[in-house]
């Protein structure tokens, strides 16, 4: 199998890289965290000293999984970045969740070097990253996507091409705004039940199979009842995604008032020191707002 360069071994990138190793792909990995690199190398990967070295060692594919647009720009275009080590014919698959504007700009830069870029952000959080069952939404050249699809399928249960470069990021932003609004609706509804003297757990059981049922209701309501907010998907990362939603919305003239309101809620939680908690901790926001506890008494 061909060697893949993998850059970014955080809460998502690390299990994704491990799943590629389990599938038999040789990896050359790089991250600023030496501990993360060591852990993945103990599973069979080789370490690179820089992003450029990881790109140079890759046969064709270079995967990036990084926090936000500035990090991807630095890894691609900065000192010792991918642009310094890549060669014509390679493919960069950026699986980070970044601005589609940034994605298209980087794609244009890489195209000048003869390198194709695919944006392929993911949804599902750490648990699905570990299981290899992420939802992957991709944008880019169809032929390049079809060739890369077997690799992506080692990390995701669904792998879908949704359009040209940047379309994957747009799809991820749609996903994130729906998830954020849905979680806030779950929290608001459960807080109303508690304030009105009705057991939120019984409300959950009564509505979960009806039209109000959703994956967010199934996943997040039990967390709220148990006060169990270990991530999952961290508030600070969802804040980043919602900023990207608003930036993109404004760039195309689309209104997103609910996303803006959920962003304000999440910023309030972050300002109280909760930025590292799961985004289901919107339950805490509504507990404070209504002076109730959603935890089982």
Neighbours of 210 (CB within 10 A): 7
Q: HEC states along 60-75?
A: CEEEECCCCHHHHHHH
Integer CA distances (angstroms), 150 to 122, 146, 155, 279, in order: 16, 8, 9, 31
Distance of alpha carbon 30 from alpha carbon 240, whole angstroms: 23
Distance of alpha carbon 252 from alpha carbon 206, whole angstroms: 40
**Reduced to 3 states, what is the DSSP secondary structure of residue 5?**
strand
Q: Is 128 a catalytic residue?
A: no
Distance of alpha carbon 277 from alpha carbon 284, whole angstroms: 10
Does an H or E element contain 46, and which?
strand 46-47
Distance of alpha carbon 277 from alpha carbon 58, whole angstroms: 35
Q: Do the Cβ atoms of 4 and 25 come closer than 8 Å?
A: yes
- Residue of 172, 194, 220, 240 marked active site: 172
Q: Do the Cβ atoms of 84 and 75 come closer than 8 Å?
A: no
- The strand pairing partners of 158, in sequence order, are 135
Distance of alpha carbon 186 from alpha carbon 177, whole angstroms: 14
Pairing of strands 156-163, 27-30: unpaired
Q: Which residues are catalytic?
A: 172
């Amino acid at each position: 199998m061909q060697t893949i360069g993998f850059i970014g071994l955080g809460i998502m990138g690390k299990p994704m890289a491990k799943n590629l190793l389990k599938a038999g792909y040789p990896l050359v990995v790089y991250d600023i965290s030496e501990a993360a690199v060591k852990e993945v190398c103990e599973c069979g990967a080789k370490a690179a000293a820089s992003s450029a070295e990881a790109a140079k060692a890759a046969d064709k594919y270079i995967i990036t999984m990084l926090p936000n647009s500035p990090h991807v720009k630095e890894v691609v275009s900065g000192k010792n970045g991918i642009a310094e080590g890549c060669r014509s014919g390679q493919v960069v698959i950026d699986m980070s969740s970044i601005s589609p504007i940034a994605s298209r700009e980087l794609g244009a830069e890489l195209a000048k070097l003869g390198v194709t870029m695919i944006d392929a952000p993911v949804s599902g959080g750490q648990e699905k990253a570990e299981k290899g069952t992420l939802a992957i939404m991709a944008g880019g050249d169809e032929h390049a996507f079809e060739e890369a699809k077997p690799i992506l399928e080692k990390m995701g249960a669904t792998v879908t091409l949704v359009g040209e470069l940047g379309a994957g990021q747009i799809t991820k932003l749609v996903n994130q705004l729906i998830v954020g609004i849905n979680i806030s609706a779950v929290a608001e509804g459960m807080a109303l039940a508690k304030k009105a003297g009705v057991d939120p757990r019984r409300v959950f059981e009564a509505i979960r199979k009806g039209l109000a049922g959703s994956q967010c209701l199934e996943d997040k309501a039990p967390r709220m009842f148990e006060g169990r907010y270990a991530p999952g998907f961290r508030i600070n990362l969802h804040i980043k995604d919602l900023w990207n939603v608003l930036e993109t919305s404004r760039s195309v003239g689309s209104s997103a008032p609910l996303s803006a309101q959920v962003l304000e809620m999440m910023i309030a939680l972050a300002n109280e020191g909760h930025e590292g908690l799961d985004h289901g901790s919107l339950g805490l926001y509504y507990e404070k707002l209504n002076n109730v506890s959603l935890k089982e008494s």
